[in-house]
């Protein structure tokens, strides 16, 4: 599996630059790569319910004092959470910062997208990240609008392929209720 430096180096090669030996090199490419990488990856993880990045967790009830009477319990969200998918049991809740406020004092679980390590990424996601990086690198390192446009087009195709491939890896979530059909009976 690709590492952070491999992905950044491959993105640099895509825009016609030299690969990096280290992220601490005193080069513009190393500075741009190390500064933009984490934000680009987290942004891409948040855009889709990637099957490889889905996690389940039981939330911990905190000892934080509830500030108003709207909710009576506060639960801590997982530290690796990028995007919350759902809370179980199904209950009204609100997220404030890294906490979930709700009116439950029993076990609360969540499904979410996690900030997963590169070693857990499938190849289709790694390739999409390379093009996402190359799109940003083209304008900030090469200062080339035509290169940025070409990389943007390649990124869009890689993103579509990655989403389609990921979706085929996991069964669809069935609808729990169908109110339109239930009304007929």
| Helix or strand run (H / E) with residue 55 | strand 54-61
Where residue 142 falls (left for φ over 0; alpha for ψ -120 to 50; beta otherwise) is alpha
Query: Based on the domain organization, do 11 and 34 belong to the same domain?
Result: yes
> Quick check: is 174 in a domain?
no
103 in any annotated domain: yes
126 with 144, same domain: the answer is yes
Whether residue 77 is found in the same domain as residue 36:
no
* In-domain check, residue 87: yes
User: Are 88 and 131 within one domain?
Assistant: no
Between CA 2 and CA 15 the distance in angstroms is: 18
Residue-wise burial string across 46-71, b where 16 or more C-beta atoms lie within 10 A, e elsewhere = eebbbebbebebebeeeeeeeeeeeb
Neighbours of 147 (CB within 10 A): 20
Per-residue pLDDT 10s for the chain (185 aa) are: 789 999 999 999 999 999 998 999 889 899 999 999 999 999 999 999 999 999 999 999 998 877 777 888 999 999 999 999 999 998 999 999 999 999 988 899 999 999 999 999 999 999 999 999 999 999 888 777 888 899 999 999 999 999 999 998 877 767 666 666 655 55
Is residue 94 domain-shared with residue 130, that is, in the same domain? no
In a domain, 15, yes or no: yes
177: in domain: no
Q: What angle do CA 165, 47, 172 make, to 5 degrees?
A: 45
Quote the tokens at residue 113.
């997208």
CA dihedral 136, 160, 129, 95 (to 10 degrees): 90
Q: What range does the domain containing 34 cover? A: 4-49+117-169
How many domains, in total, are found in the chain? 2
The structure's pTM equals 0.84
- Same domain for 103 and 129, yes or no, is no
Residue 179 placed within a domain: no
């Amino acid at each position: 599996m690709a590492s952070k430096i491999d992905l950044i180096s491959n993105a640099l090669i895509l825009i016609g630059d030299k690969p990096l030996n280290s992220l601490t090199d005193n080069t513009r490419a190393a500075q741009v790569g190390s500064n933009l990488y984490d934000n680009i990856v987290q942004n891409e993880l948040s855009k889709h319910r990637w099957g490889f990045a889905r996690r389940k967790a039981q939330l911990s009830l905190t000892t934080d004092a509830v500030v108003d009477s709207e909710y009576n319990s506060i639960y801590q969200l997982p530290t690796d959470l990028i995007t919350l998918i759902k809370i179980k049991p199904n209950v009204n809740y609100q997220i404030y910062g890294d906490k979930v406020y709700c009116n439950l004092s029993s076990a609360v679980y969540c499904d979410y997208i996690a900030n997963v390590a590169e070693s857990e990424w499938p190849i289709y996601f790694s390739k999409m990240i390379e093009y996402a990086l190359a799109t940003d690198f083209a304008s900030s390192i090469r200062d080339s609008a035509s290169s940025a446009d070409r990389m943007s087009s390649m990124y869009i195709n890689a993103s579509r392929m990655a989403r389609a491939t990921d979706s085929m890896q996991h069964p669809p979530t069935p609808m729990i209720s169908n109110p339109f059909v239930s009304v007929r009976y």
